[in-house]
Amino acid sequence: MFENFTHRQIETSGATINLRHGGNGPPVLLLHGHPQTHVMWHKVAPKLAESYTIVCADLRGYGDSAKPPTTPDHEPYSKRAMARDQVEAMRALGFERFAVVGHDRGGRCAYRMALDHPDRIVALSVLDIIPTAEHFQRTDMAFAMGYWHWFFLAQPHPIPERLIASDPDVFYLRRGRSLFDEAALAEYRRCYTNPETIHAMCEDYRAGATIDMRLDEEDQKAGRRIACPVQALWGLKNGLERWYDVLAVWRDWADRVEGHGIDCGHYLAEEAPEETLAALEPFLARAFKG
């Protein structure tokens, strides 16, 4: 797994970021979802590295990246703070401009990066998400029942942390173990059984329900839009397409939007790596040709 990639830990202004990088060509940053680590890209990154320089990073609070102390406003776990980490890490690797692909929570960091650092982002691909504010603004029974964990994890410390810590596997593997490669699953379990990681992941969702929501609403009010090309991919067996017109939602946030559903569940890069690659490769090629 990641045999030809180099492991590094990079000090940014806010956190130490754990990552692996490999390949040659234009730079592409891959960001993982919850409760995973950069290892989730193990089926996709080696193939992309044949044409691109691939960076697979752990978000702050996840994996082996730092877990900074939180504050009452949850700003240290905002997607703005996470995006700042990743921009600084990419700069430390020598990349001022790059494409970013983000799944789940990594997708939220990625679109915030495109909004906050438009001069840095060549292209944005988001996997199985719409913007955070859109979820909360459109909340109904279907979303609340389907994504109940958003509301659970955002509850004040320490209730979610204590309940999850009593049996992390029951909570984090509720969708099933069979979705993941055994080596990847072992890595996820190593990380999500750490009480500091459990707390940091709860802070991620608390930030989502507070400061991230506010930042999205400020962008909506100001009419701020994502400048780069946007690709949205989603799992047809997950809830996103049942609840939303995914491309229509993203077109409220960006002018150049494309994408489609893939016949899998939430974990596109692990459940359907070939189909995910088949979508990513032409999108990235067009973006870098510019």
Instruction: Say which residue the tokens 């995910």 belong to.
Output: 276
Nearest in space to 43 (alpha carbons), one of 54, 34, 35: 54
Instruction: Say which residue the tokens 């930042």 belong to.
Output: 215
Instruction: Identify the pLDDT of residue 23.
Output: 98
Give tens-digit pLDDT for 80-114: 999 999 999 999 999 999 999 999 999 999 999 99
Backbone phi and psi for residue 287, each to the nearest 5 degrees, phi listed first: -65, -40
* Cα distance between residue 58 and residue 60, in whole Å: 6
C-alpha triplet 32, 33, 39: angle, nearest 5°? 45
Instruction: Identify the pLDDT of residue 31.
Output: 99
Residue 2 has pLDDT above 80, yes or no: yes
Q: Cβ contacts of residue 231 below 8 Å, gap of 6+? A: 123, 124, 125, 126, 257, 258, 259, 279, 280, 283
Cβ(95)–Cβ(110) below 8 Å? no
**Which domains, and CATH codes, for the chain?**
6-288 (3.40.50.1820)
104 catalytically annotated: yes
* Cα distance between residue 108 and residue 129, in whole Å: 8
Q: Cβ contacts of residue 129 below 8 Å, gap of 6+? A: 102, 103, 104, 107, 108, 234, 240
Cβ(44)–Cβ(280) below 8 Å? yes
Count of CA atoms in the C-beta half-sphere (13 A) of 103: 27
Among 58, 85, 104, 216, the active-site one is 104
Backbone phi and psi for residue 132, each to the nearest 5 degrees, phi listed first: -55, -45
pTM of the model: 0.98
Instruction: Identify the pLDDT of residue 285.
Output: 98
Residue 156 has pLDDT above 90, yes or no: yes
Give tens-digit pLDDT for 216-226: 999 999 999 99
Give tens-digit pLDDT for 117-151: 999 999 999 999 999 999 999 999 999 999 999 99
* Cα distance between residue 272 and residue 23, in whole Å: 22
Nearest in space to 141 (alpha carbons), one of 211, 242, 263, 34: 242
Neighbouring C-beta atoms of residue 202, cutoff 10 Å: 25
C-alpha triplet 220, 222, 228: angle, nearest 5°? 70
Neighbouring C-beta atoms of residue 145, cutoff 10 Å: 9
Instruction: Identify the pLDDT of residue 290.
Output: 72
Instruction: Identify the pLDDT of residue 193.
Output: 98
Q: Tokens for 14? A: 């806010």
Among 38, 42, 74, 266, the active-site one is 266
pLDDT over 90 for what percent of the chain? 99
